[in-house]
Amino acid sequence: LDALVLHWGVARDEPGQWLLPDQALWPSDTAVVSDMSVETPLVPSEGCLLMDMRDGLDSVDEECYPLQSLAIDLPGEGADELMGLQFVLRNEEGTTWYKDTTNGNSNYRANYSAKSKTSSCELLDTIIRAEAGGGWWTLMHRFNLASSLLEKECTPGVDKRSPLVDIAAASKIYVWLRYSSTRKLTWQRNYNVKPRELSAAQAKLTRVIAGLYSSVPHLRDVTRLMLGTVGKGGEGGQGQQIRDEILNIMHRNNISEKKGIWMEEWHQKLHNNTTPDDIVICEAYIAFLKADMDLGEYWRVLGEGGVTRERLESFERAIRQEPTPRPEIKTALIKDFLNYLKILKSVHSGADLVDCIRACAKGLGGVSNALNYVRVAQNGGGDALQLLTACVEARHELRDAGLAKASDPEWTRELLYLDLAIDDVSRRAVERAGEAAYDLEQQMRLAGLVTENLALSLPASNEDIVLSLTEWRRVERARREGDPKWALRAKAVVDRIRLAVALHADAVADDMQGAAVDIGEGCGIESWAVELFTEEVIRGGPAFALSLVLSRLDPGLRAEADMGAWQIISPSPAMGFVRHVDTLRSVMNDTFERPTILVADKVGGDEEVPAGAVAVLTTCSVDVLSHSAVRARNGGVLFATCYDPDILKTLADADGAPMSVTVKGDDVAWEAVDASTIHGATHAGTGASGRGLVPSGIKLEQIPFCGKFSVPLEEFQAGVVGAKARNTRALNESLGGGKIPDWIRLPRSMVIPFGTMEHILKDPMNKSVAAELAQLTATVDDSSEASLTRTLKACRMCVRSLLPPPEMLDEIEDAMLDAGMEPPESEERWGNAWAALVAVWASKWNDRAFVSLRNAGINHSDLRMSVLVQPVVDADYAFVIHTVNPSSNDESELYAEVVMGLGEVLVGNFPGRALSFAVKKAAAAEAAAGTKYLADGEAPRVLGFPSKSVLLKIPRPTLIFRSDSNGEDLDGYAGAGLYESVPMDKEQTLHADYSADPLVWDDAFQADLLTRIAQAGVAIEAAMGGVPQDIEGVVKGGEIFVVQTRPQV
C-alpha cells in the first residue's frame, strides 16, 4: 500500500468550508500548504476485521490488514466549535490524488457528530452551528448552505427514503428560511457580499427549490412555501445593477458621494451588503419624495416594513442620517427610484405581481383576461368576489401551464413566483370580502372560491379539500333546485372543510414547531417568535382565511337547517368548577379533587373521562354512539359539542368559577352558583356534582382457563366467553327460532376463551415473557400521563412477544373449519393471525382501559380477555343503533349513525360526524310478534349528513379478533370500547367521497336502507326481551349484517 498524505482543512460555519486549522490541532509532521489547508502523513499500522464483516461468511475468524490512520481532535464549544473536516488524499509523490468517487468525485467530508445542546438532529445541528457562530455570516452563505442541504437531504437518489423523511427535512429547512425572511436571523455579520454574489446564491437556491417541486411531488406544499421566503435573484446581472444603478442615480442628479448624508450612507450599504431591507428603504424614500419631503412618511413606511431606526443604525454600513429634501429634482428622483425599486424587487422579492406577469407572459401565450383583471384590481379595485374569482381562474391557468405536471425547473420557478403573487392578492381579496355585507348565497359562493384557492395552495395534500369542494358544488346546485335538505347538507360539508383545515394546521405544527423551537433556542430568537411560529405560518396562509369565511357562514347555515348551537351526546346535568384545557387527553390520567366541568379545545374520541370530571364540553364533533360517548353516559357525565366557538369561549373564560350546567331541549345553559353549593353536594355524595369522585369498587371474578384453546358457538356461555359472544349465540338462536327476520345476516363465529393468555404465560417457552410481564405490571407508573403511556406501552410490547404452544394453532384451525370459517392459508398468514390475537390481549394495558378500571376501583389484574373471532365483512356501510334515543332518553324512538366502509371509523370516533337519523318505533307487542317494527306513517328522519373525511376498507378476505373481556356490560360500568378489536390485515384508509354517495343523495336508496337498518334494530330489541340494545352492524351489497349487540347503557 502506498504511503498516503492527508490534505485537509476544518469547517466551522457550514459543510464544505475550508479553514486553516489552528496549530494546536495539528498532529506531528503537519505542514501548511495554503492559507486554508495543511498536510499530514498518515501513520502506518495494522488492523483486523472479522471475516463475516468482510465477506458475509459465518466464520468469526479474524483477518488482519495493513492500515494507515490519523487521529485529529476537534475541540471548541459554541461559536468556536468545529463541525468537521474537508480533505483529500494523495500519495507521497503527489502524482495520484484520491477523492470521494461515491459523491461526484468531490472532497471527502468528515462531519463531527457530537450531539448539539439543542437538537439531536444532524440537519438542525448543521444549521444551528452555522447561524450561532460568532464568525462571518451573510444571506449569501445561508442561501448556499440551504442549497447544499436541500440537495443532500431531499434530492431523489438511489436510496429510497420515506416521503415522511423528505417532508421532515424540507420542513426544517423551511423553518430556517422563514426565520431568515422575517429578520429573526442576522442578514450580515462581519462580511461584505457583492450584490451579484448574493443574487447568484439566491438564484441557485430558488432553482434547487423549483427542481424539488418538479421532481419530488410529495414536497410541493413545503417547497412552495419555501420559495416564498427567498427572492428570485439572478446570475449576476441583476445583482450588479443594484450596485451600479444607485451610483448612476446619484451622478445623474448631481448628488455627491459625501460622507454624512443619507444617500451616501445608503449607497455604501448597497455597495457592500444589499438585503431585502433595501426594498423597504427605497419605498420609504419614494413616499418621502411624494409627500413633499415629509419625514413622517419616511418613518411610517419604514415602520410598516419592520425597519426601525435601531435596525438602520445596526447595519455594518450604518444609516444614521435622514433623507435630505431636494424639491428641485423631486420628479426626477421619483422616476429614478421607482425604476430602482423594480431592480431591488427583481432580486430580493420574487413575488412582485407585475414583474412575475412580465416574466411569464410569453410562456403563457399572453396575459389572459383573468390574469389581467388580477393585475388591474390587485390594490382594491372592483368587487372582492369578482377579484377572487379571477385569482382562482388565473391560478388554474398556471396549473395547466406547468404546475400540475411540473418538469422544467426554470419554467416551474417562474410559474410558482407568479402563483405566490396571485395568492397574495387573493388573501387581500378575502380580507375585503369579510367587510362586505354579503347575503347567504354570496357567502356560499365566497366559501367555495376560498376552498378552491386553498386546494390550489396545497398541491401535495389537497385530496380531502378537493372532495369537499366537489360536494360543495353539488350542494350549491341543490340549493338552487329547491332541495329542502340543502342547508343540512351544506352544514356537513362546512364541518368537513373545517376539519380538513384543523388537520392541516396540526400537520404544520407537527412538521415545523419542533424545528422552530430547536433553531429558535439555538440561535437566541425571541421566545414569543418561537412559540408563535406555526400559528403565524397558518395565519398568513389561505387555510386561515378559509376558516374565517366558514365561521361567518356557519350561523346562517345552522339557522337555515333549523339546527341549534349544540349537539347533545350525554344529557346529564352537572355542577362543578370550570377548567379550560387544550386537550382531553392531557388530563385523562388526572383525578380532580373537586367536581370539574372540562372545556376541552380538542377531543379525539378515544380518551377516558378523568375521575372527578362531571362534564366535557368541546367544539370537536363527537359521534353520539362512539365508545367514548357511551362511557360518558354510563358515568353520568354531561357531554356536548358546541358548533359556535364564541359561545363556548364565554364558559372557557370563566376558568375556575363554580357553575351549574343543564340541558334544556337542544340547548346547553349554565349559570354561576355559590361554591358552597358544590362542596355541600360533594360532601353528601349525591347530585350532579358528586359523580366520578368515589370508585365504585366493582369486583371482577377471576375466571380460570377452561382447558381448551377454542370454543364453538353452541358452548358460548358465562364463565368461558364474554358478553359479546354470549349475545352472538342468543342472536343465532333467535334467528333460528324465527324471533328475528331471516333477512338479517349473522357472521360465523368462534371464541378463544377466558384465561388463555394467562395459561400460555405458564408454558415453559414463555417463561421469560411471563417474568418480564410480572415485573413490568408491578412497576406501571401512573404519576403522570407521560410515565403511564411509557410503562403501559412496555407491557403491551411484552405481551406481543408471546409464542403459541404447538397444539394451540392446530386446535384453533379445526375450530374455524367447524364453524364454517376459512382459516389462514399459510404460515405467513398464521403469523398475521397470531399478531392480531396477541394485540387484542395486549390492549388490556392500553391507557384508556387502565385509567377507566382504576377510576372505577376495579383490580386490573382480575381482568380476563376472551377473543371473538369472525370473518370481516368488507362493508359498503357500517352502522350503530341505540334502540332508545340516547340524546333525549325517549324510549319510543330509535337513534342510529351510519358511515361509509368499516365501523371503526364510527365507534372509534374518527374526526367528523356520521350520518345520523331517528325514527319512532312500533309498539313492543307488535315488534315482538314481528308484524310491525316502525310506528304508523313513520320514516327515518335524517338529523345530520356525514362529515368524516376518511373511510376504512379491508384489501382482502380476512378475520377480525374482537376483544370480549369480563369487564364489559356490568351493572354500573359499561367498559364499552376500552379494548381493541384487531383485523388480521391492516385496513386501508381512503378519503371519503360523498358527492356521488347514494346514501347521501338518492332519496329512495336512503329511505330504503335506513328503514331496514331501523327495522333490524327494533327486531333485535324485541328478540332480546325488550331490553334496549346497542347494536353494531354493516351493509354489504344491500344485505344487513349484525356483528354484535349488547344491552344499551
Cell of 1017: 334494530
Residue type, 268: Q
Angle between helices 122-132 and 139-153 (to 10 degrees): 170
Distances (CA, A) of 334 to 17, 321, 327: 43, 20, 11
Q: What is the dihedral of CA 917, 1027, 720, 908, to 10 degrees?
A: 20
Cell of 447: 366559501
What are the b/e assignments for 666-682, b being 16+ CB within 10 Å?
eebebeebeeeebeebb
Distances (CA, A) of 537 to 528, 544, 548, 550, 1002: 14, 9, 16, 19, 41
Give residue for cell 328522519. Answer: 941
| Cα separation, 710 vs 867, whole angstroms | 10
Pick from 886, 893, 912: nearest CA to 636? 886
DSSP β-bridge partners for residue 110:
85
**Element containing residue 447 per DSSP (H, E):** helix 440-457
Output phi, psi for 700, to 5 deg.
Answer: -90, 140
Rg (CA), the chain: 35
For residue 539, the SS3 value is: helix
Contact at 8 Å (CB) between 875 and 865?
no
Q: What is the dihedral of CA 902, 903, 908, 913, to 10 degrees?
A: 100
Contact at 8 Å (CB) between 924 and 953?
no
Pairing type for strands 915-920 and 941-944 reads antiparallel
* Burial (CB count within 10 angstroms: exposed 0-12, middle 13-18, buried 19+), residue 486: buried
| Cα separation, 509 vs 715, whole angstroms | 52
Cell of 126: 448543521
Contact at 8 Å (CB) between 721 and 751?
yes
Q: Which residues are catalytic?
A: 627
Contact at 8 Å (CB) between 130 and 124?
no
Using alpha carbons only, what angle is made at residue 338 by residues 287 and 267, rounded to the nearest 5 degrees?
Answer: 85
Cell of 391: 385569482
| Cα separation, 458 vs 461, whole angstroms | 6
Q: What region does 861 belong to: left with phi over 0, alpha with psi -120 to 50, or beta?
A: alpha
Contact at 8 Å (CB) between 654 and 578?
yes
